[in-house]
Amino acid sequence: MSMERVPEVGKVGEVAAVPEPVEVPERVMDLAARENYFNRELSHLQFNYRVLQQALDEHHPLINRLIFLCIFSSNMDEFFEIRVAGLRQQMKYGREMVGPDGMLPEQVLQEISQVAHEYISEQYDILNKVLIPEMEREGIHFVRRRDWTPAQAEWVRQYFEDEILPVVNPIGLDPSHPFPRLVNKSLNFIVELDGKDAFGRETGMAIVPAPRSLPRLVRLPDDVCSGGENLVFLSSMIHAHADELFPGMEIKGCYQFRLTRNADLELEDDLEDLASALRGELLSRRFGDGVRLEVADNCPEELVQFLLRQFGLTERDLYKVHGPVNLTRLMAVSGLVNRPDLTYPGFSPAVPKPIRNNEVIFDAIRKQPVLLLHPYESFTPVVDFLRQAAKDPQVLAIRQTLYRTGADSEIVEALMDAARRGKEVTAVIELRARFDEAENLELASRLQESGVVVVYGVVGYKTHAKMILIVRREEGRLKRYVHLGTGNYHAGNARLYTDYSFLSADDALGDDVNKLFQQLTGMGKALKIKKLFHAPFTLHKRLIELIDREAGFGDKGHIIFKFNALTDPEVMLALYRASQAGVKIDLIIRGICCLRPGVPGLSENIEVRSIIGRFLEHTRVYWFGNDGKPEVYCSSADAMVRNLVNRVETAFPVEEPSLATRLKEDLDACLRDNCQSWVLQPDGRYLQNQPSPDEERFACQLVLLDRLSAK
């Protein structure tokens, strides 16, 4: 297998300059030395860049390549809203925190600005020079104003009159009309005006917020086009008819811009009513401090400077873009054009035989535990687990944690149905699931109205564990059934994210899950748990103990971890110690990794790879060779301080030999990937694996899709 250098920044098709490799000593005795760690935020940016690179990968269908570009845009929005905003808050209030890498917030912000500018510039180059031309060749046209035919221009004029003009609200700037408070990430236009209005005012400038209710991309009807799929931007329509918003005034220029604001929520730990406090905070999210300004690259400098002053930003926070300021909205293309040949082929997630062959799901689970890998295997058994429980007269109680579920959730309907049928139903809802807070507040109200007992977990500790407990009367005694998972109870995500679901009737696991619910809903000391590891009490400690145990086996030891991020300093120290002891360590980390692999004397036995493909890698698995007696755990927790110390999380053992073997095969497929995996180098670069000339492509997601999904 060879590794190909992928351009990190710069023009499409060019290999951009990268920093000189960082020199590391051959033997590092101080494992905590800052040169042994990468910065968390910069590593996060690199993950976003790997997503962007999928837009250039011709093995993905064309429309999906465009969607990858949109996902990059969405990821960058959240990065600025949360990560950049957090660094700015640290500096604003004098609470600067330094991670294991030793970089101060000001240094990190400076690096972020340089890297993000390069990445975003490349994003627009990919859009304008690669994707749009390729879509044109496929008959999908983004029709520019200068190319409108008379018939198209007339249709746009009518659309503007009927759909845009009635809802748009232009704001002239003068002493009685100060600069408006613009909503986070909203599309806006700054307009240069000449002349006097009906009141004799001569403002020279106005702001036009684009209504958020309007689509940013509109399909032109076939009868005004000569073939193909023809799309026009809302911004083009507003540009073309801006003069109608200011009758009698001369429009000297109209330029789009977008402000990204701090969208993180800060709640005190001593709240009396979490739900009420959260409702108040959600209103402020739309108008937090500005952290980034995006403007059209043809906007005059004096207007750019005016906007920067209005938002209290500097040149470092300014991004001049050659195209729409919100590329995330281009995701609408997939719904506006009918080109299934340019998207991923559909597939049917499989339902394992033990469940297919049993009408009552509890009978199947009682015979043997069930392990599902979504999206290759169906999420339906998890929904059926609750549906059957709701209707089953032998079921007495249901308890479940809810982090993200979706607006129209069959899971929620099943819980409400169970409550209406008189069962004891308890839902532990995490209101602070980022960007799903409003939906979760609404969800809590709906559940309560149906008779479900709703609690909000523990203030100060997000409830991120994924657990269902069902209590059923069987043969005169109570029997517990559990579902434990690595992902959310969200049917949509289960089609896009890779996650494990584990269904079991194991008595010890049932007792453990029952005790965890007791801790979440009641009060008291931490209870003794038999099989589960649970944060914030035992998971962090046990994970490090198991790493250290493996170190005791020396070069016979083997660790495979798969999770989304590695930032916890103590876990990284333990992995360094194990590597120095000779343990082979394979880390499959989708996103952030602060550990520096491949350094002689420190981490030469550690390899870190990131897999980016059709599905979002989301499984968390801890596998230990254990001197020939492997142990494997699935978990809701990544190796981050926030997960292992500041959240409610679980890790559960998979002890059934056939299922443990199956998990190892899944991990091995990830380690064999030679085309959708990127390997982290000691100097911090990620290089994409490429098959050798005599080697076949092995894309683990495609292999698992073929192996596990229904044929």
What residues act catalytically?
464
472 touches 395 (CB < 8 A): yes
| CA atoms of 400 and 387, how far apart (whole Å) | 13
494 touches 559 (CB < 8 A): no
| CA atoms of 196 and 178, how far apart (whole Å) | 18
671 touches 588 (CB < 8 A): yes
Q: Is 642 annotated as a binding residue?
A: no
| CA atoms of 601 and 483, how far apart (whole Å) | 43
Q: Is 286 annotated as a binding residue?
A: no
Q: Is 497 annotated as a binding residue?
A: yes
Lookup: tokens for 263: 């969208």
Phi then psi for residue 647, to 5 deg, are -135, 165
558, β-bridge pairs: 584
> Would you put residue 460 in left (φ > 0), alpha (ψ -120 to 50) or beta?
left
309 touches 284 (CB < 8 A): no
| CA atoms of 466 and 145, how far apart (whole Å) | 50
Report DSSP state, residue 84. Answer: I
504, β-bridge pairs: 482
432 touches 263 (CB < 8 A): no
Q: How many C-beta atoms surround the C-beta of residue 171 within 10 A? A: 18
Taking the alpha carbons of 405, 410, 416, 421 in that order, is the dihedral positive or negative? negative
Task: Look at residues 503, 241, 535, 219 and name the one whose alpha carbon lies nearest to residue 374.
Answer: 503
| CA atoms of 191 and 401, how far apart (whole Å) | 49
Q: What share of the chain is helix, strand, coil (3-state, %, to 5)?
A: 40, 25, 40
| CA atoms of 425 and 435, how far apart (whole Å) | 26
Q: Is 618 annotated as a binding residue?
A: yes
DSSP string, 139-176: TEEE--GGG--HHHHHHHHHHIIIIITTT---EE-BTT
Q: Is 262 annotated as a binding residue?
A: no
State the pairing for strand pair 584-589/606-611.
Answer: parallel
Task: Look at residues 685, 698, 689 and name the one whose alpha carbon lies nearest to residue 7.
Answer: 685
**3-class state of residue 588 by DSSP:** strand
Q: Is 219 annotated as a binding residue?
A: no
State the pairing for strand pair 533-535/187-194.
Answer: unpaired
Lookup: tokens for 616: 């979002």
Task: Look at residues 564, 695, 590, 532 and name the one whose alpha carbon lies nearest to residue 642.
Answer: 564
Report DSSP state, residue 566. Answer: B
What residues are designated binding site for Mg(2+)? 404, 434
What residues are designated binding site? 75, 404, 434, 497, 590, 618
What residues are designated binding site for ATP? 75, 497, 590, 618
